[in-house]
Chains A and B, each alone.
Chain A
């Protein structure tokens, strides 16, 4: 149980990702699919942030001393900056994908007057 509580953010990651994946695959509504996609990506972002985090760690900023030299930070006292930077990129990608997805859903709605996948398929095969 203690281990479970220790790693509770990873449990949350799994729950988020499964919710998102289920919504992407099983929902009929195009907008709900887009929401599922956003939740799925959020789960992955949380995963990456979790693996870079450390107990009682500070933000990874070098402190300047005299003569313009920088203190080498103690790596045990700062979080891993790389995962955070990677996720900045992933967030940008996620926003762009969501934007394109919603734009396509809007176009489909203009044509078929519906967001429901079954109805759209019926319309198109007619």
Chain B
């Protein structure tokens, strides 16, 4: 059983999706427990495999699908699909599957209200999306990565379109952008395949850095794959689809998509950069490197400035994602040790922060029905726990010390200073400042404006938190923000430092 753990991570939610839609013909209520069961298996196997990795001498755990990697069946190891877990994607897998499970628990009540009668379809798509995201993270084959990317993308188009109203058009725009990105990625894979004759990431990592350093075709493939990944993660010039898509989606879809979909694309980019092409290769084209760094600076600034002009909490959260994507892409393209550490750490930290933010928004929507900032007056007195969670999340986004946001920003700034990229440092600080302004606006509205109960004919302010099945996952994720921050040292030395490739010293 233990040796089959890697495949169980994907199979849990995938079979969960299939059985949830099958059993729903017989008994619609069954779909939810089936999906939870699948996600729980996946989350458990991911955590087990991370511990197995941490306490063994192994650097990477391989799993050959269909036994194709064995010498007698497949001499060169290029036919079969390999999945592998190493220090880099072990963390991502644990994060994605755990947040997927918590979000599934969280979304029951809000789906019940927003999508009455359609829960079974929602939960099958939900499970399919998680399996797509886990597949992207675990696969060791660049074409297989494309397939999982499209599985995740197709289910997310449908999940967004459940929002009714303007969500159809938002989802359509996302579909156009997402398909364009995936097609460019596929084209890049084609260029790489022409020169190397293999799709296996491990084989590629031996072939490309050693023998194909100067090949034009491989370089074009690199650029195409990067553009494809950027379109999927809403990096600056390609970010137009994100705010509408995530803010018009049902709150439960938003809570799953916003933290995970973009972060997993960042992981795909990191994997291609670090493993397939090596950091050497990235450093060899300094003009592209400086352009990407400039774009990530612009991305951070655009995200921050647009977020302050918004009056809706969900839109603010969506523009935050765009600025956070700038952090991660910039950190990765700094291509030095602290920068890459910061980028990998921030993938995990930002998944937790965005997840907490969108869950809190879900709680607020469940009780008050809207997320306009000015209508949230006296939120502290109505939903104290949710409001405190919101403050902690905002503090993490700003980068207040005990939370995880501080440490990722610390590494990123350290990396940027080391690389001498001052515009990136300034953008990081400005973005923190703007987030602080928004935090004070929230405090001003939610805490300082005490609501007048007499207006509604009550003697005291009615205090009503969201139901427990929503509140508990929200609080767990919020607490994890502080826990990740406190255990930063362990996380970095045991996982992230080992995930880093050899970085050439300049």
The answer on A and B forming one complex is yes
A107 at the interface (CB under 8 A from B): yes
Interface residues on B, range: 20 to 34
In the complex, which of the residues A44, A86, A96, A108 contacts B183, with contact meaning CB atoms closer than 8 Å?
A44
B158 touching A100, Cβ below 8 Å = yes
A-B CB contacts (within 8 Å), total count: 70
Interface residues on A, range: 20 to 34
In the complex, which of the residues A30, A44, A107 contacts B187, with contact meaning CB atoms closer than 8 Å?
A44
B190 touching A108, Cβ below 8 Å = no
CB distance from A27 to the nearest CB of B (A): 10
B121 at the interface (CB under 8 A from A): no
A86 touching B158, Cβ below 8 Å = no
A51 at the interface (CB under 8 A from B): yes
Binds A, one of B36-44, B171-179, B323-331, B458-466: B171-179
Contact status of A40 and B172, CB under 8 A, knowing A96-B154, A97-B150: no
- B-chain residues with CB within 8 Å of residue A96 when the two chains form the complex: 150, 154
Contact status of A97 and B154, CB under 8 A, knowing A30-B172, A51-B194, A124-B166: yes
B176 touching A108, Cβ below 8 Å = no
Q: How far is the CA of A47 from the CA of B194 in the complex (A)?
A: 11
B219 at the interface (CB under 8 A from A): no
- A-chain residues with CB within 8 Å of residue B171 when the two chains form the complex: 104
CB within 8 Å of B: which A57-73 residues:
none
CB within 8 Å of B: which A106-124 residues:
107-108, 111, 120-121, 124
B183 touching A40, Cβ below 8 Å = yes
B499 at the interface (CB under 8 A from A): no
CB within 8 Å of B: which A89-106 residues:
89-90, 93, 96-97, 100-101, 104-105
In the complex, which of the residues A24, A44, A51, A111 contacts B186, with contact meaning CB atoms closer than 8 Å?
A44
B305 at the interface (CB under 8 A from A): no
- B-chain residues with CB within 8 Å of residue A120 when the two chains form the complex: 169
Interface mask (B147-165 → A, CB under 8 Å = 1, otherwise 0): 1001001100110010001
B424 at the interface (CB under 8 A from A): no
A104 touching B183, Cβ below 8 Å = no
- A-chain residues with CB within 8 Å of residue B150 when the two chains form the complex: 93, 96-97
CB distance from B230 to the nearest CB of A (A): 16
CB distance from A14 to the nearest CB of B (A): 11
CB distance from B484 to the nearest CB of A (A): 35
Chain B residue with Cβ nearest A109: B168
A104 touching B194, Cβ below 8 Å = no
A51 touching B180, Cβ below 8 Å = no
Interface mask (B63-87 → A, CB under 8 Å = 1, otherwise 0): 0000000000000000100000000
B143 touching A40, Cβ below 8 Å = no
Q: How far is the CA of A14 from the CA of B175 in the complex (A)?
A: 22
B381 at the interface (CB under 8 A from A): no
A104 touching B168, Cβ below 8 Å = yes
- B-chain residues with CB within 8 Å of residue A105 when the two chains form the complex: 172
Which of B154, B168, B194 is most buried by chain A, counting CB atoms within 10 A of its CB? B168
- B-chain residues with CB within 8 Å of residue A86 when the two chains form the complex: 143
A21 touching B180, Cβ below 8 Å = yes
Q: How far is the CA of A37 from the CA of B153 in the complex (A)?
A: 15
- B-chain residues with CB within 8 Å of residue A51 when the two chains form the complex: 190, 193-194
Interface set of B (CB-CB < 8 Å, partner A): 79, 143, 146-147, 150, 153-154, 157-158, 161, 165-166, 168-169, 171-172, 175-176, 179-180, 182-183, 186-187, 190, 193-194
| Nearest 7 A/B pairs, CB to CB | A107-B168, A104-B172, A93-B150, A108-B168, A51-B194, A101-B175, A100-B157
* A-B contacts, 10 listed (Cβ < 8 Å): A21-B180, A41-B179, A51-B193, A93-B150, A93-B182, A97-B153, A97-B179, A100-B154, A100-B158, A104-B172
